[in-house]
């Protein structure tokens, strides 16, 4: 998989007609070898939905009135009111951001140019629920150029860039999202995308599963016409994002700081490597003996959190578990210890236990709080324990180009797949598709791939055009 996002597609019912080719070879998605339980589909609201996310300061954050967008009557320049955003007048600012993003999304723009004549998504009605940023706007406009009709909501109550949502609404996209939604607003926006007279989706693009869950819960009959779902789950794999988030929020120097990273999976490995490179003294906690051994062999000391909690300067959670850092740990931390989370959900740090009368909360700046004990000790809590890299920093547009291009290709494949190719199951994206997306990005670097000779390809047992690695290969 490329980038920091894991992408899955879930086949719905029948497909149609043509299928697309990737680098001269047709290939199905590889069936995911593990069983998928009900938990991801049946949750009421994902923790990630209320994770704080602010990739840039929105133009409308401080200037807009407090009137809920649901109470406003707004129309775009074409007279359409089929949207709900903070302020449609901010569309010009959002358009500039989208144009900037297009420059760093070469593969998606190349796909738009190559395929817009063929219209491989003609007839597709895509309902989406993702972070609404400039990069997402480029994806949506690409899907539109390829023939799809789209309706969109935000997968996170803090993630929407209001000016970008306005630009999309001005361009005719039914967008229902604004930064700072309530939980009720969140579900209302999703419902406005789905429950439309005379329009029914046949494809879903989801990030976190909330849209899929809502349709499953409220409109199960819709699945009879849905051909498939592309699901994307965000992780903190991107190495630089932990440093970026900590620097932006605390302006700290990392050299000589003692840091404990809870979890040594993909996210933890990236965090540890980045912090070690900056001169930090890094400890690791882990429950899995294999990951623990990897940490030891990478030069990190494996400890229990209780053993180092009094001495460390920074505590970072990235386990995906709950109550990793408890109130007992928080009570024992040293003065000015920084506490943050890089896991997908906001369950890892027991923030609720800090909301008690004897503790004082003091807002320092956006996404930075001091929590002060009666004796004067304070800890620095970042993003209220929510996902740090999406709350306090950015993900490079070029990385998002990789993920957005694979999303577009997955939608094209599922929409055009003939009946019977995919069962009602969950499939991982094939290596062939990731390789194709990677190849579309290489010209940006003026990179030149070496090609196998026939003899070399035969020796390795490979097709000259790929895939070049088995499905189990981890990059």
Q: What is the model's pLDDT at position 240?
A: 74
Min mean pLDDT across 215-224, 245-254, 398-407, 456-465 is at 245-254
Whether 321 has a pLDDT exceeding 60, the answer reads yes
Burial 402-416 (b: 16+ CB within 10 A, else e): bbbbbbbbbbbbbbb
79 annotated as ligand-binding? no
170 annotated as ligand-binding? no
Q: What is the model's pLDDT at position 10?
A: 55
The more confident residue out of 1 and 32 is 32
Q: What is the model's pLDDT at position 17?
A: 37
389 annotated as ligand-binding? yes
> What is the spatial distance between Cα 333 and Cα 318, in angstroms, rounded to a whole number?
18
268 annotated as ligand-binding? yes
Q: What is the model's pLDDT at position 208?
A: 78
Cα distance from N-terminal residue to C-terminal residue, the chain: 8
pLDDT of 434-460, one tens digit each? 899 999 999 999 999 999 999 999 999
Which uninterrupted H or E stretch holds 273?
Answer: helix 266-277
Whether 236 has a pLDDT exceeding 90, the answer reads no
Conformation bin of residue 271: beta by default, left when phi > 0, alpha when psi is -120 to 50: alpha
Reference 244, options 416, 392, 49; nearest CA is: 392
Which uninterrupted H or E stretch holds 42?
Answer: helix 39-42
CB count within 10 Å of CB 218 equals: 13
266 annotated as ligand-binding? yes
> What is the spatial distance between Cα 275 and Cα 460, in angstroms, rounded to a whole number?
38
Whether 29 has a pLDDT exceeding 70, the answer reads no
Q: What is the model's pLDDT at position 62?
A: 43
Q: What is the model's pLDDT at position 233?
A: 59
Q: What is the model's pLDDT at position 49?
A: 47
> What is the spatial distance between Cα 215 and Cα 410, in angstroms, rounded to a whole number?
20
> What is the spatial distance between Cα 328 and Cα 331, in angstroms, rounded to a whole number?
5
Average pLDDT score over residue span 31-59: 41
Min mean pLDDT across 35-44, 108-117, 224-233, 304-313 is at 35-44
Q: What does DSSP say about strands 378-382 and 258-262: parallel, antiparallel, or unpaired?
A: unpaired
334 annotated as ligand-binding? no
Whether 4 has a pLDDT exceeding 70, the answer reads no
CB count within 10 Å of CB 424 equals: 10
Under 8 Å CB-to-CB from 355, ≥6 apart: which residues? 361
Under 8 Å CB-to-CB from 35, ≥6 apart: which residues? none
Q: What is the model's pLDDT at position 389?
A: 66
What pTM, to 2 d.p., does this model score? 0.77
Q: How many helices (H) and strands (E) does the chain have?
A: 16, 16
User: Residues, the chain, total?
Assistant: 475
13 annotated as ligand-binding? no
Which uninterrupted H or E stretch holds 307?
Answer: helix 305-308
Three-class DSSP category at 345: coil
pLDDT band at 230; cut points 50, 70, 90: very high
Average pLDDT score over residue span 144-173: 93
Phi, psi for residue 465 in degrees, rounded to 5: -100, 5
Q: What is the model's pLDDT at position 392?
A: 65
Average pLDDT score over residue span 199-210: 91
Conformation bin of residue 407: beta by default, left when phi > 0, alpha when psi is -120 to 50: alpha
Min mean pLDDT across 10-14, 97-101, 162-166 is at 10-14
Min mean pLDDT across 85-89, 141-145, 214-218, 468-472 is at 468-472
| Residues forming a β-bridge with 30 | 428
> What is the spatial distance between Cα 281 and Cα 194, in angstroms, rounded to a whole number?
50
- Cα dihedral: 138, 143, 148, 149 (round 10): -20
How much is the mean pLDDT over the chain? 84
In the chain the domains, ranked by start, together with CATH numbers, are: 68-234+395-436 (3.40.50.1480), 238-392 (3.40.50.720)
35 annotated as ligand-binding? no
Three-class DSSP category at 431: helix
Q: What is the model's pLDDT at position 257?
A: 95
Reference 67, options 185, 155, 161, 172; nearest CA is: 185
DSSP 8-state secondary structure symbol assigned to residue 199: B
Min mean pLDDT across 11-15, 224-228, 266-270 is at 11-15
Whether 21 has a pLDDT exceeding 50, the answer reads no
| Sheet-wide strand order for 426-428 | 30-31, 426-428, 5-11, 228-234, 203-206, 125-130, 149-154, 175-176
- Half-sphere exposure in the Cβ direction for 349 (13 Å, CA): 30
Chain-centroid distance of CA 327 in Å reads: 29
Whether 162 has a pLDDT exceeding 50, the answer reads yes
Which stretches within 133-265 are classed as H helix? 134-145, 162-170, 183-194, 210-218, 240-250
Average pLDDT score over residue span 34-54: 41
Average pLDDT score over residue span 363-389: 89
Could you tell me if 395 and 54 are in contact, meaning their C-beta atoms sit under 8 angstroms apart? Answer: no
Min mean pLDDT across 140-144, 201-205, 390-394 is at 390-394
Three-class DSSP category at 202: coil
What percent of the chain has pLDDT above 90? 63
Which stretches within 62-203 are classed as H helix? 91-103, 106-115, 134-145, 162-170, 183-194
Could you tell me if 367 and 54 are in contact, meaning their C-beta atoms sit under 8 angstroms apart? Answer: yes
What percent of the chain has pLDDT above 70? 83
Q: What is the model's pLDDT at position 245?
A: 78
């Amino acid at each position: 998989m490329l980038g920091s996002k894991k992408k899955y597609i879930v086949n719905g019912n029948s497909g149609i007609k043509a299928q697309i080719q990737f680098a001269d070879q047709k290939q199905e998605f590889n069936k995911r070898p593990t069983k998928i339980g009900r938990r991801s589909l049946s949750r009421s609201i994902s923790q990630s939905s209320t994770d704080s996310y602010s990739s840039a300061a929105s133009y409308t954050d401080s200037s807009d009135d407090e009137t809920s967008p649901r109470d406003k009557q707004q129309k775009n320049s074409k007279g359409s009111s089929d949207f709900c955003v903070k302020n449609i007048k901010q569309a010009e600012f959002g358009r500039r951001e989208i144009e900037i993003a297009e420059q760093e999304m070469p593969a998606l723009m190349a796909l738009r140019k190559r395929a817009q004549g063929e219209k491989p998504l003609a007839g597709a009605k895509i309902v989406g629920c993702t972070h609404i940023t400039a990069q997402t706007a480029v994806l949506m406009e690409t899907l539109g150029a390829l023939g799809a009709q789209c309706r969109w909501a935000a997968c996170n109550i803090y993630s929407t860039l209001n000016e970008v949502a306005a630009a999309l609404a001005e361009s005719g996209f039914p967008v229902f999202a604004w930064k700072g939604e309530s939980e009720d607003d969140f579900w209302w926006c999703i419902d406005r995308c789905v429950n439309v007279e005379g329009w029914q989706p046949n494809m879903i693009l989801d990030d976190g599963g909330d849209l899929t869950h809502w349709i499953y819960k409220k409109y199960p009959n819709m699945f009879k016409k849905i051909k498939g779902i592309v699901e994307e789950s965000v992780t903190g794999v991107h190495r630089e994002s932990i440093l970026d988030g900590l620097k932006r929020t605390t302006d700290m120097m990392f050299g000589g700081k003692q840091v404990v990273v809870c979890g040594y999976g993909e996210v933890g490995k990236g965090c540890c490597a980045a912090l070690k490179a900056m001169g930090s003294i890094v400890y690791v906690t882990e429950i899995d003996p294999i990951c623990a051994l990897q940490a030891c062999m990478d030069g990190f000391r494996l400890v229990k959190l209780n053993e180092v909690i009094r001495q460390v300067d920074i505590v970072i959670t990235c386990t995906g578990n709950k109550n990793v850092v408890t109130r007992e740990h928080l009570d024992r931390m040293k003065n000015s210890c920084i506490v943050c989370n890089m896991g997908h959900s906001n369950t890892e740090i027991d923030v609720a236990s800090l909301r008690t009368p004897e503790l004082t909360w003091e807002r320092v700046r956006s996404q930075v709080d001091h929590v002060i004990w009666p004796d004067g000790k304070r800890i620095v809590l970042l993003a209220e324990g929510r996902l740090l890299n999406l709350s306090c920093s950015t993900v490079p547009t070029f990385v998002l180009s990789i993920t957005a291009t694979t999303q577009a290709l997955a939608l094209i494949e599922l929409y055009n797949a003939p009946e019977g190719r995919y069962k009602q199951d969950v499939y991982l994206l094939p290596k062939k598709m990731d390789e194709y997306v990677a190849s579309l990005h290489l010209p940006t670097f003026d990179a030149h791939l070496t090609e196998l000779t026939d003899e070399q390809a035969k020796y390795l047992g490979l097709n000259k055009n790929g895939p070049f690695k088995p499905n189990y290969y981890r990059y």
